[in-house]
């Protein structure tokens, strides 16, 4: 099953709409509560990243029998050093963004902690592509 | 999870029900449909919040209670009364008078539910420290909220603090005390005076407990009338001066009764739609840095219980005043002698989700049904007119997939099909009669 959401950069008041909507889908599909929690946390963090840093983005989610695959693509500044961005506490968020309770520099870490596979590719000045999987059954 | 049929205190009287759909429109879990001109309850979705009870214009929804006369079959008759009970009386009526009047109604002992709150508060503080990995933690106080989380927010069940609410701690205490005094446990009847339907349901089919310590439940409006009558007879003056120890934490059941006493970032949210709105945020991972949530289904918490006779704002204010006045008296410390005993028994079992959201247990089946519901939604008008007997187009779509309903119940679909000749006006009318009953199609 395929789901698609678009994300508006810079609009913090609607940040998290996709994760809220997708959470309902996961509940309806009777996915185990702990798995739902992991997917939703990762999705929300990734969604907020687009809002905080990019101009716009899209989320593509595929639910398969064994996993949920999420691809977030944005048009934005890109990440110059991905491994540095993965470090806990590293943040490029402006003070204004931090004041709103975002940009603590835990986003990518938090995503990484909640997913089974994470792949980030980025081109400076163009945008970032973030792909992650969460397995639905423990093998 | 097992879809047990849970006990519900809220019942619909089909004789009185006029099929007006007011209850269906206010139900926060979409547990009501209209069929054959009557409201029908999907029991597994109902959380006993009482919204339908408040909305019913003909009092067709009632709250099942135990027969009051049943107290007489016990040698020791204990009334467990929440402090909110005396909040309903005129400010000139003293707490001691209310106690005396309750005894005059047939009880040997009157014990306030909030007695157990002190021990609970201490344990809740410890729990917040020992469960630092789960945030926010949610109070187990309101049974309607526990059920709401089980059916609508299954991924949050682990956030519920697994400690007994004050009612269960206090009833455990009463029973232990009486047994220690030599009473035969079988002869002890503990009756809870309830302000709401959810508490009854929690006692009849407890969540996270094997069985309840409470013998029976009596609706607060019934006892209120009995006590008013006794007070009116005015024969209680001689006992008025009797000293009653101060009740600490008597405002526990009011909004902020818990949140105001727990260290950290604590929110108190009352009224079930407010609670749902906030839990949506929590479940979507948007709430961080909140330690504790006090969630109550009723507006103004228990002061707004459906069985409270007085206005909720006045009740809350009276109780707040009472709590302030009480500060000077000496506290009741009798329960402290049983602290160790109660502390050992304060935990409750794991609370299981029983989601009403899921299309199917099996993932591929659930995906198929969801896809089907999506396609049906494309055909529905999204007007949420509820002429189909379901509260929204989405509810009808889900019912078609899950409950064997037909898309022909939709009045918009009927019109379209009449135009193309796929349905006759007679067929449409018959379908409408099946939903709303024949009576609504007769000229009055």
Nearest residue, CB atoms, A30 vs list B156, B285, B366: B366
| Cβ contact B370–A25 (<8 Å) | yes
Q: Give the chain A residue whose CA is nearest to the CA of B354.
A: A30
Nearest residue, CB atoms, B363 vs list A19, A30, A45: A30
- Average confidence (pLDDT) over B342-366: 91
Nearest to B173 by CA among B245, B127, B103, B120: B120
Nearest residue, CB atoms, B280 vs list A20, A29, A36: A20
The pTM of the full predicted model, rounded to 2 decimals, is 0.90
Which residues of chain A are within 8 Å of residue B360 when distances are taken between CB atoms?
30
| Cβ contact A29–B363 (<8 Å) | yes
Contact B300, B275 (CB under 8 A): no
The SS3 call for residue A16 is coil
Residue B398 pLDDT class (50, 70, 90 cuts): very high
The percent of residues above 70 in pLDDT, for chain B, comes to: 94
Mean pLDDT for all residues in chain B: 91
Interface probe with B: pick from A29, A34, A48, most Cβ of B within 10 Å: A29
Q: Give the chain B residue whose CA is nearest to the CA of A21.
A: B284
> Each residue of A4-24: pLDDT tens digit?
999 999 898 888 889 999 999
Q: Is B90 on the interface with A (CB under 8 A)?
A: no
- Average confidence (pLDDT) over B136-142: 97
Q: What angle in degrees, to the nearest 10, is found between the helix axes of A17-28 and A33-53?
A: 160
- Average confidence (pLDDT) over B298-327: 90
Is pLDDT of B2 > 60? no
| Cβ contact B358–A28 (<8 Å) | yes
> Each residue of B38-47: pLDDT tens digit?
999 998 899 9
- Average confidence (pLDDT) over B398-421: 94
- Average confidence (pLDDT) over B117-136: 95
- Compute and round to an integer the Cα radius of gyration of chain A: 14
Q: What pLDDT does B364 receive? A: 93
Is pLDDT of B268 > 90? yes
In B247-379, DSSP assigns E strands to 266-270, 292-296
Q: What pLDDT does B331 receive? A: 67
Nearest to B32 by CA among B356, B262, B259: B356
Q: What would the two tokens of residue B160 be?
A: 């519920």
Q: How far is the alpha carbon of A89 from chain B, nearest alpha carbon, in Å?
A: 16
Q: How far apart are the C-alpha atoms of A86 and B46, rounded to whole Å?
A: 45
Q: Is B92 on the interface with A (CB under 8 A)?
A: no
Q: Is B330 on the interface with A (CB under 8 A)?
A: no
Residue B35 pLDDT class (50, 70, 90 cuts): very high
Angle at B414 between CA B410 and CA B418, to 5 degrees: 175
- Average confidence (pLDDT) over A61-68: 95
Residue A139 pLDDT class (50, 70, 90 cuts): very low
Contact A9, A53 (CB under 8 A): yes
The SS3 call for residue B267 is strand
Residue A2 pLDDT class (50, 70, 90 cuts): very high
Residue B354 pLDDT class (50, 70, 90 cuts): confident
Nearest residue, CB atoms, A63 vs list B155, B157, B367: B367
| Cβ contact A40–B285 (<8 Å) | yes
Query: How many beta-carbon pairs under 8 angstroms link A with B?
Result: 67
- Average confidence (pLDDT) over B352-365: 90
| Cβ contact B155–A1 (<8 Å) | no
Chain A residues with CB-CB distance to B under 8 A? 1, 16, 19-20, 23-25, 27-31, 33-34, 36-37, 40-41, 43-45, 63, 65, 101, 136
Which residues of chain B are within 8 Å of residue A27 when distances are taken between CB atoms?
154-155, 355, 357-358
> Each residue of B236-257: pLDDT tens digit?
655 554 556 667 788 999 999 9
Q: Is B317 on the interface with A (CB under 8 A)?
A: no
Q: What pLDDT does B165 receive? A: 95
Contact B303, B316 (CB under 8 A): yes
Q: What pLDDT does B300 receive? A: 97
Contact A42, A66 (CB under 8 A): no
Is pLDDT of A3 > 90? yes
Q: Is B155 on the interface with A (CB under 8 A)?
A: yes
Is pLDDT of B3 > 50? no
Contact A111, A131 (CB under 8 A): no
Q: What pLDDT does B333 receive? A: 75
Q: What pLDDT does A91 receive? A: 76
| Cβ contact A25–B284 (<8 Å) | no
Which residues of chain B are within 8 Å of residue A28 when distances are taken between CB atoms?
357-359, 366, 370
Q: What angle in degrees, to the nearest 10, is found between the helix axes of B272-283 and B143-152?
A: 40
Q: Give the chain A residue whose CA is nearest to the CA of B357.
A: A28
**How many other β-carbons are positioned within 10 Å of the β-carbon of residue B352?**
14
| Cβ contact A31–B357 (<8 Å) | no
Q: How far apart are the C-alpha atoms of B260 and B294, rounded to whole Å?
A: 9
Nearest to B259 by CA among B295, B299, B305: B295
- Compute and round to an integer the Cα radius of gyration of chain B: 24
Interface probe with A: pick from B45, B265, B284, most Cβ of A within 10 Å: B284
Which residues of chain B are within 8 Å of residue A135 when distances are taken between CB atoms?
none
Q: Which residues of B288-297 are buried (b: 16+ CB within 10 A; e: fewer)?
A: eebbbbbbbb
Q: What pLDDT does B279 receive? A: 96
> Each residue of A78-133: pLDDT tens digit?
998 888 888 877 777 777 777 766 666 667 888 999 999 999 999 999 999 999 99
Is pLDDT of B286 > 90? no
- Average confidence (pLDDT) over A22-42: 92
Q: What are phi and psi of A70, to 5 degrees?
A: -120, 130
> Each residue of B213-239: pLDDT tens digit?
899 999 999 999 999 999 888 766 555
Residue B1 pLDDT class (50, 70, 90 cuts): very low
Q: What would the two tokens of residue B154 be?
A: 């299954």
Is pLDDT of B154 > 70? yes
Q: How far apart are the C-alpha atoms of B415 and B417, rounded to whole Å?
A: 5
């Amino acid at each position: 099953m395929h789901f698609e959401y678009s994300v508006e950069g810079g609009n913090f008041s609607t940040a998290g709409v996709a994760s809220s909507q997708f959470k309902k889908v996961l509940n309806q599909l009777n996915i185990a509560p702990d798995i739902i929690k992991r997917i939703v946390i990762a999705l929300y963090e990734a969604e907020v990243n687009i809002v905080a840093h990019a101009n716009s983005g899209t989320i593509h989610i595929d639910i398969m029998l064994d996993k949920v695959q999420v691809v977030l693509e944005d048009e934005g500044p890109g990440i110059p050093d991905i491994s540095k961005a993965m470090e806990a506490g590293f943040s490029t968020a402006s003070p204004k963004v931090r004041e709103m309770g975002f940009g603590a520099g835990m986003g990518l870490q938090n995503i990484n902690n909640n997913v089974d596979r994470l792949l980030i590719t980025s081109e400076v000045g163009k945008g970032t592509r973030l792909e992650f999987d969460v397995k639905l059954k423990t093998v | 999870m097992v879809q047990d049929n849970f006990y519900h205190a809220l019942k619909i009287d089909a004789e009185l029900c006029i099929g007006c759909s007011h209850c269906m429109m206010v139900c926060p879990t979409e547990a009501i449909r209209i069929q054959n001109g009557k409201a029908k309850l999907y029991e597994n979705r109902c959380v006993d919040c009482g919204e339908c009870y408040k909305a019913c214009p003909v009092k067709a929804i009632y709250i099942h209670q135990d027969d009051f006369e049943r107290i007489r079959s016990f040698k020791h008759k204990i009334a467990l009364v929440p402090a909110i009970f005396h909040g309903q009386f005129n400010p000139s009526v003293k707490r001691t008078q209310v106690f005396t009047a309750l005894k005059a109604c047939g009880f040997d002992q009157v014990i306030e539910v909030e007695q157990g709150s002190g021990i609970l508060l201490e344990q809740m503080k410890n729990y917040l420290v020992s469960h630092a990995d789960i945030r926010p933690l949610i109070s187990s106080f309101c049974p309607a909220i526990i059920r709401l989380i089980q059916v609508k927010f299954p991924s949050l069940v682990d956030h519920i603090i697994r400690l007994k609410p004050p009612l269960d701690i206090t009833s455990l205490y009463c029973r232990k005390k009486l047994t220690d005094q030599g009473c035969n446990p079988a002869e002890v009847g503990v009756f809870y005076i309830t302000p709401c339907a959810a508490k009854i349901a929690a006692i009849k089919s407890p969540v996270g407990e094997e069985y309840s310590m409470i013998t029976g439940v009596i609706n607060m409006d019934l006892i209120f009338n009995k006590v008013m009558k006794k007070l009116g007879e005015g024969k209680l003056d001689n006992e008025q001066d009797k000293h009653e120890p101060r009740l600490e934490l008597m405002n526990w059941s009011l909004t902020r009764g818990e949140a105001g006493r727990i260290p950290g970032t604590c929110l108190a949210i009352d009224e079930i739609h407010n609670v749902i709105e906030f839990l949506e945020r929590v479940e979507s991972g948007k709430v961080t840095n909140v330690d504790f949530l006090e969630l109550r289904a009723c507006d103004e918490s228990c002061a707004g219980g459906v069985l409270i006779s007085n206005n909720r704002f006045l009740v809350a204010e009276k109780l707040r005043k009472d709590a302030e006045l009480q500060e000077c008296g000496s506290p009741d410390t009798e329960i402290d002698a049983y602290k160790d005993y109660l502390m050992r028994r304060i935990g409750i079992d794991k609370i299981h989700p029983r989601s009403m959201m899921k299309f199917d247990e099996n993932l591929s089946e659930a995906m198929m049904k969801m896809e089907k519901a999506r396609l049906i939604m494309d055909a529905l008008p999204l007007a949420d007119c509820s002429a189909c007997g379901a509260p929204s187009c989405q509810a009808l779509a889900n019912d078609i997939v899950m409950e064997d309903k037909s898309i022909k119940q939709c009045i918009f679909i009927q019109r379209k099909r009449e135009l193309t000749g796929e349905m006759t006006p007679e067929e449409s009318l018959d379908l409408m009669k099946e939903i709303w009953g024949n009576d609504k199609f007769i000229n009055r």
